[in-house]
Amino acid sequence: MSIENVSAGHAGANARDPRSRLVREKYFSLRPRPLERWLWAQGIPMSAERVFWLHWQEGMKRGDWCSEIPIRRVAAECQLDASTVTRAYQWLIRAGCLRRTDPGRDAGNPFQQATAVTEVRVPRELLVEFDRHPSRGPNRAGQASAGHRRAPEIGACPGPDAAPATPDPFAGLSGRERLRALSGLTRAMSAEERRQYDEASRTRTPHIRFDADSRLSAEERGRVLAQLSALAATPGTRPAAARPASGTAGTARPRKLSVFELARLRRDVQAVTSAAAAPELMRQVAWSIEEGALRRFSPPHALHIALKKIREGAWTRPNKMPPNWACAPAAPESCAHA
């Protein structure tokens, strides 16, 4: 290193450091620490971990946590062979980390199967202990969701603007032990205390009023209140009372089928009709489920009703369906007016 480079200062040296350039100039991925450590604890094979994080990254970029990547591309991206990728899918599906569905024949090539739709999921075991893991402050979380402008600092201490951590009333317990302890507390409550607890959990209220002769000890009442405070402090939640009912016409936002539901719809419609009639029937069924008569049912139930009518020859085009309504190709996760 020359004398001029040394005298340029620490900032200039950092600018030339390849490690700094990698962070500053190249793409990088973000992996939630609780999920990554959960995968390690399960003894996940390295090949399955590569496949999972590839789909995680693609689903995060799309915004709907789904991706359609051919197996040969997955194998090339992860530097694996196709049979290893297939075994990785089997492991991840059993662990509850992935959900895959066959969307039927490719619309552009009826003689070829379409690429499977893969959805990444958070395992149930991790959801149970979700609140045990420390959360970032609101400002840092907002910066990360605004485009990942900077790489998070590994092991960094929370800043002065970070939200205070809510004490965990079940610290040190596993997910199953936490459920058992919480169940024991709710069983000891009176009917009125249980009603208040359920209502407070639903509306994210951090307190309830205990009976004068409550069967709960002072320590147990403190745990109940700490649990409610943790629920109330959970970011990204809205009180259930403020949420519009999904089946109420006029007040609820329009239902939009996810890309995963649309893939299953296309596959099932293709299975009960001809290739020529399938696209139009899928369009009609999708509109009926999202905006028509089938909207009052859950998507799986609505699809079951529509398929039964198609098989029996009783399906007719919805009366109020706009003639130009179609699934928008630019937003595969939803349907919209063309």
For the segment 19-63, what is each residue's pLDDT rounded down to a tens digit? 888 888 888 788 899 999 999 998 889 999 999 999 999 888 888
pLDDT of residue 112: 73
pLDDT of residue 261: 81
Question: Mean pLDDT in the chain?
Answer: 76
CA distances from 330 to 3, 325, 335 (A): 56, 14, 10
Q: Comparing 201 with 162, which gets the higher pLDDT?
A: 201
- Is pLDDT above 90 for 151? no
Encode 40-52: b = buried (16+ Cβ within 10 Å), e = exposed.
eebebeebbbbbb
Mean pLDDT of 319-336: 58
Count, residues in the chain? 338
- In the chain, the largest separation of any two C-alpha atoms, in whole Å, equals 86
pLDDT of residue 337: 39
Task: Report d(CA 170, CA 55) in Å as an integer.
Answer: 33
pLDDT of residue 85: 94
Both tokens of residue 98? 């992935």
Both tokens of residue 129? 């202990």
pLDDT of residue 54: 93
For the segment 235-255, what is each residue's pLDDT rounded down to a tens digit? 544 444 444 444 444 445 567
Q: What is the pTM of this model?
A: 0.51
Beta carbons of 137 and 131 less than 8 angstroms apart: no
- Is pLDDT above 50 for 257? yes
- Is pLDDT above 70 for 3? no
Q: Is 181 strand, coil or helix?
A: helix
- Is pLDDT above 80 for 195? yes
Q: Which residues contact 336 (CB under 8 A, 6 or more apart)?
A: 327, 328
- Percent of the chain predicted with pLDDT > 70: 74
Q: For 103-117, 133-147, 281-295, which range has the lowest pLDDT when averaged over its residues? A: 133-147
CB neighbour class for 62 (10 Å; exposed up to 12, middle 13-18, buried from 19): middle
Element containing residue 305 per DSSP (H, E): helix 299-311
- β-pair type (336-337, 105-106): unpaired
Name the pLDDT band for 110 (thresholds 50, 70, 90): low
326 φ/ψ sector (left φ>0, alpha ψ -120 to 50, else beta): beta
